[in-house]
Amino acid sequence: MIRLDHGTDVPALLGERNSLERQPAFWIEQATDRKTIAAYRALRTRVFVHEQGLFEGHDLDERDDDPRTVVLVARDREGTVIGGVRLGPVDDGPDLGWWVGGRLVVDPTHRGLRGVGGALVRAACARAEDSGALRFEATVQARNEKLFTRLGWQPVRPVTVAGRPHVLMRWPIRRIAALAAATKSALGPLLADLAPGGSGFVGDDGAPVPGSDLVAACDAIVPAMVERDPEWAGWCSVLVNLNDLAAMGAVPVGLLDALGARDRSFAARVLAGLRKAAVAYDVPVLGGHTQLGVPAALSVTALGRTAAPIPAGGGRPGHRIRLTVDLGGGWRPNYVGRQWDSTTHRRTPELRAMLAAVGKARPAAAKDVSMAGIVGTLGMLAEASGCAAVLDVARVPRPAAATMGDWLTCFPGFAMLTADEPGSMPLPAGPAEGAECGELIPGQGVSLRWPDGERTEVITGAVTGLGIA
């Protein structure tokens, strides 16, 4: 329901009959003023201190003082606070995407009002995910375990709080798995008969050309992106292909483009972005094809040279995972949380240093981060290597402007995942930063490892279905 600041509902203003009866019995909003927060805290005191005797005097703690803590409240038709819940990062350190909820409370006089507690829990889950959380937990009284289970939460372990039995519950956040499935899961069935890349390189984004030292890579840009931001699409068509070559240790020698556009003016905008990127990277455009009077379409093929291509499937259990990523720049306008622009402000020597890094370090396996995000791409490297992977969340290099959920699922501009023996040399990638942040282990899928040692499985099996390289 839409409400105005003074509490009048829109149907009533429009003169709709029985509008008051059709109003929901309650609504949920974020508490943004001291009066509302005080009402929520007073309700907590009434229930947890006086009614249940869980605490003496008050139930306030350090999370109430954390400015990052979010309070959601339920109000009845008169605007009275009848319930609430708080949520936020697990501790006062950096927000790693590990959030906890708690102090869920409903006014005793409104417990017969069906659904208040459940609605608050669902709202908290949505808010945590929207804030970039990848792990969301709550310690609930044992008698409320059924409610949380019915809402889709999973029990982790029994715990004791204030001398009373509680259960640690976890909300399953499927953001990473959903992205991997949407972007990559169809590849195996579609490409099974083609064995793209050839033996030893199946699943790589580039393919060694038989009988030569050439490596070819080809990427298409999503048509909606070409329509929405043609200059950026042109730039990215160069960026993603050169990243593919760089992951195999190949030095770029040229580009070929194929462009479809509705008219000459639109084609010029796409080509302007493509040309700007080609100049910035100092890679020539060798030729291509342009067709006018058709829907937007753009793909680029890049050619590079290396005598010994580095595969994505060269990893083995025990190899350390390193992420090397350019943290400069910021979110591309209109793509906040999805595309990080780290390259358009870089000078040619910086861009070329990043492209040459894998070829100089020569790790056992390498893969550039694609639209499947950091975790999805790690899953592809692990799949091609016949392994599973563990990613240490706290060790992942990340810009301050990105939540962990966004950063692990976005396209980050320049980012390379490599696997090699412990202690191997880092990538000499110019302005990009690198850190060891995980390892390959026997099995399938990808798990996130948190500072408390807990692991949460985010990809349970193969990402592409293409199998071992």
Per-residue pLDDT tens listing for the chain (469 residues): 444 344 444 444 455 555 556 678 899 999 999 999 999 999 999 999 999 998 999 999 999 999 999 999 999 999 999 999 999 999 989 999 999 999 999 999 888 667 999 999 999 999 999 999 999 999 999 999 999 999 999 999 999 988 889 999 999 999 999 999 999 999 989 888 887 777 889 889 899 999 999 999 999 999 999 999 999 999 999 999 999 999 999 999 999 999 999 999 999 999 999 999 999 999 999 999 999 999 999 999 999 999 999 999 999 999 999 999 999 999 999 999 999 999 999 999 999 999 999 999 999 999 999 999 999 999 999 999 999 999 999 999 999 999 999 999 999 999 999 999 999 999 999 999 999 999 999 999 999 999 999 999 999 999 999 999 8
Of 276, 310, 344, which residue constitutes the final position of a domain?
310
pLDDT value for 212: 96
Structural contact between residues 279 and 273, judged by C-beta atoms closer than 8 angstroms? no
- Please tell me whether residues 265 and 333 are part of one structural domain: no
pLDDT value for 193: 81
∠ CA 199-204-210 to the nearest 5 degrees?
45
pLDDT value for 6: 43
- Please tell me whether residues 297 and 377 are part of one structural domain: no
- Amino acid 22 reads R
Q: Which of 428, 457, 430, 460 is nearest to 444 (CA)?
A: 460
DSSP string, 221-274: E-HHHHHH-HHHHHHHHHHHHHHHHHHTTPEEEEEEEEEEESSHHHHHHHHHHH
Q: Which long-range contacts (CB under 8 A, 24 or more apart) does 335-342 make?
A: 335/229, 337/402, 337/403, 337/406, 337/410, 338/406, 338/410, 338/411, 339/410, 339/411, 339/413, 340/399, 340/402, 340/407, 340/410, 340/411, 340/412, 340/413, 341/413, 342/412, 342/413, 342/414
Q: What are phi and psi of 153, to 5 degrees?
A: -75, 160
Of 246, 276, 310, which residue constitutes the final position of a domain?
310
- Amino acid 90 reads V
| Domain containing residue 414: CATH number | 3.90.650.10
Q: Is residue 101 part of a domain?
A: yes
pLDDT value for 15: 52
Q: Is residue 437 part of a domain?
A: yes
Q: Is residue 5 part of a domain?
A: no
Number of Cα atoms under 13 Å in the Cβ half of residue 229: 13
| Domain containing residue 120: CATH number | 3.40.630.30
CA distance 297 to 303: 20
- Please tell me whether residues 157 and 216 are part of one structural domain: no
- Please tell me whether residues 286 and 347 are part of one structural domain: no
Strands (E), 51-199: 70-76, 81-89, 98-106, 135-141, 154-161, 164-171
- Please tell me whether residues 37 and 151 are part of one structural domain: yes
pLDDT value for 439: 98
pLDDT value for 3: 45
- Please tell me whether residues 142 and 22 are part of one structural domain: yes
CA dihedral (457, 463, 465, 469) positive or negative: negative
Of 257, 280, 310, which residue constitutes the final position of a domain?
310
- Please tell me whether residues 318 and 404 are part of one structural domain: yes
pLDDT value for 20: 56
Q: Is residue 4 part of a domain?
A: no
Could you tell me the residue range of the domain that residue 330 belongs to?
186-193+311-469
CA distance 369 to 184: 13
- Please tell me whether residues 283 and 347 are part of one structural domain: no
Q: Is residue 300 part of a domain?
A: yes
- Please tell me whether residues 338 and 285 are part of one structural domain: no
Q: Is residue 2 part of a domain?
A: no
Name the DSSP class of 61: -
- Please tell me whether residues 285 and 316 are part of one structural domain: no
- Amino acid 74 reads A
pTM recorded for the entire structure: 0.92
Q: How many domains does the chain have?
A: 3
Q: Is residue 82 part of a domain?
A: yes
CA distance 301 to 254: 9
- Residue 145: count of CB within 10 angstroms of its CB: 17
- Chain centroid, CA 285 distance in Å: 33
- Please tell me whether residues 38 and 19 are part of one structural domain: yes
Q: Which of 189, 79, 115 is nearest to 464 (CA)?
A: 189
- Please tell me whether residues 114 and 209 are part of one structural domain: no
| Domain containing residue 213: CATH number | 3.30.1330.10
Bridge pairing between strands 320-325 and 330-331 = unpaired
